[in-house]
Amino acid sequence: MSKVARIPGYQSKNPKQNRGIIGDREIRYKCSLQNVILDVLRGRPGWTEVPGQNSQVPAAQQGTRPSNQQTSGQTQTGNQSRPSDGDWDFYWCDREWLHQNYDTMFLHEHQKILHFRNHYELTRKNLMVKNLKRLRKQTEREQGKTEAQSFDFYPTTYELPSEYHIFVEEFKKNLGIIWIMKPAAKSQGKGIFLFRRLKDITDWKKGEYQPLSDQTRDVPETYVVQRYIENPLLIGGRKFDVRVYVLVCSYNPLKVWLYRGGFARFSNTRFSLDSIEDTYVHLTNVAVQKNAPDYDPEKGCKWSTQQLRKYLAAKHGVDKVQKMFKSIDNIIIKSLQSVQKIIINDKHCFEMYGYDVLLDSDLKPWLIEINASPSLTASGKEDYDLKFGLLSDLLNVLDLENRLTGKEKRIGGWDLLWDDGPIVADDNMDCTPANGSAVSTPNSYLGCFNDRKKQLREIYLTAQSVKKS
């Protein structure tokens, strides 16, 4: 049994509660990844790593924090569980494992597992757009055109090859604009290219752009072709996108938390439309940028969302920036609602999404992609701290230790954005409030001050006294 340590921000008089207890025993976890999440789990007082058949962790080390905090690579620990295993309470598994095992798995009442069974409905580029288009149509039918305009946050997109002919019609209506081609199921900028002429896509159709390994396929790889945002907001002449973390604990009813922190990822090279073949200019993925010839790993290409929000408020005014962040809330809720009836809801499952949002020069946010496995590998100290806080607070929200009341609207850096309806803030916290601010302010603080440790101390104390009384 691991040493009893104090849970940051909380110490109960009941020693069992300090250790993270389910019933009369400790919380047992499994983890498929070897990066910040594993550090968080190992550092969590009273949580014990289950030594799997292939576990790299000797039982003696369980529950202790590794001396080298900076783990690298989204690699697997090999600590894979079998469906029949009932020996864990919490499993940070990878998507492949869940796909292979979910249908034959029996989960006990207390067990929690990462990912919903068919998360790809939202996280595959073609399916995300298909679901958004469907809800948009339904909204237009039932509530009219004006309401349907609230879905104007994803660029015009078609699936290829299935919608090739519709795309060509659209292409001919808008000659001269730039389009971006993306493999539907790949990530990290792989296989993406920009084009202006239909001829370029004809070459692709012939198979020129298909990876060698796919040449034996009898069906062509699915792509999406999407209108390229030609007027991105630039800072210091560079394009960037914003990573936003969203936690869904339930799809029915829909319960959504939004993390205050995040970051903007900048491209390394000044933006220009002259060289559309230059991925270092147009793709902001870290995986792409770190290969740029003049990439400086010390400087990196990231700003915290707090830094971004402050900069934008100073440059464009508080009201405009507030409106922009509100539009991001709309993107989050509408996209989740578009799959709400499709996702196989399961009280054992949760999902932490990484939204990629691009801002244009009018400060309009565009939804580019939603990831079900956002990178949890840290690129530096600041990034490590962000991810460590994010994941620790995720565990605080899930509250396997049962230390909270379940009525909290904020837990550490996570704010409850939606619980079967919009959540209204208790206070208009001094983030960057709009002048004469709204009567009911949404409980949304993306890019705002994150005093998470202080807040945790307070809510744990409150919960303790509520539970006593």
Binding residues for ligand ADP (CB under 6 A): 155, 180, 182, 186-190, 192, 226, 228-229, 241, 283-285, 356, 358, 368-369
Distance (Å, whole) CA 117 – CA 101: 10
Minimum CB–partner distance for residue 198 and ligand ADP (Å): 18
For ligand ADP, the closer CB: 192 or 378: 192
Nearest CB to ligand ADP, comparing residues 48 and 226: 226
Closer of 38 and 358 to ligand ADP (Cβ): 358
Kindly tell me which of 160 and 368 has the beta carbon lying closer to ligand ADP.
368
Q: How far apart are CA 240 and CA 274, in angstroms?
A: 18
Least CB distance to ligand ADP at residue 123 (A): 9
Residue 415 near residue 433 (C-beta atoms within 8 A): no
* Helix, strand, coil percentages, rounded to 5, for the chain: 30, 20, 45
Q: Which residues lie across from 195 on neighbouring strands?
A: 179
Smallest distance, ligand ADP to C-beta of residue 279, A: 8
Give the single-character DSSP code of 153. T
DSSP code at position 344:
-
Task: Give the largest Cα separation in the chain, rounded.
Answer: 72
The nearer residue to ligand ADP, 31 or 160, going by C-beta atoms, is 160
CB of 241 vs ligand ADP, minimal distance in Å: 5
Q: Contact 61/3 with Cβ under 8 angstroms?
A: no
Q: Which is nearer to ligand ADP, 19 or 124 (CB)?
A: 124
Q: What is the DSSP string of 311-326?
A: HHHHHH-HHHHHHHHH
Task: Tally the residues of the chain.
Answer: 469
Chain centroid, CA 357 distance in Å? 11
Based on CB atoms, which residue is closest to ligand ADP, 9 or 191? 191
What gap in Å lies between CA 46 and CA 42, rounded to an integer? 9
- Whether the Cβ atoms of residue 253 and residue 419 lie closer than 8 Å to each other: yes
Kindly state the smallest distance separating residue 255's Cβ from ligand ADP, in Å: 26
> Residue 230 Cβ, how far from ligand ADP at the closest point, in Å?
8
What are the tokens at 435? Answer: 């002048």
**What is the Cα–Cα distance from 170 to 320, expressed in whole angstroms?**
32
Nearest-approach distance from CB 227 to ligand ADP, in angstroms = 6
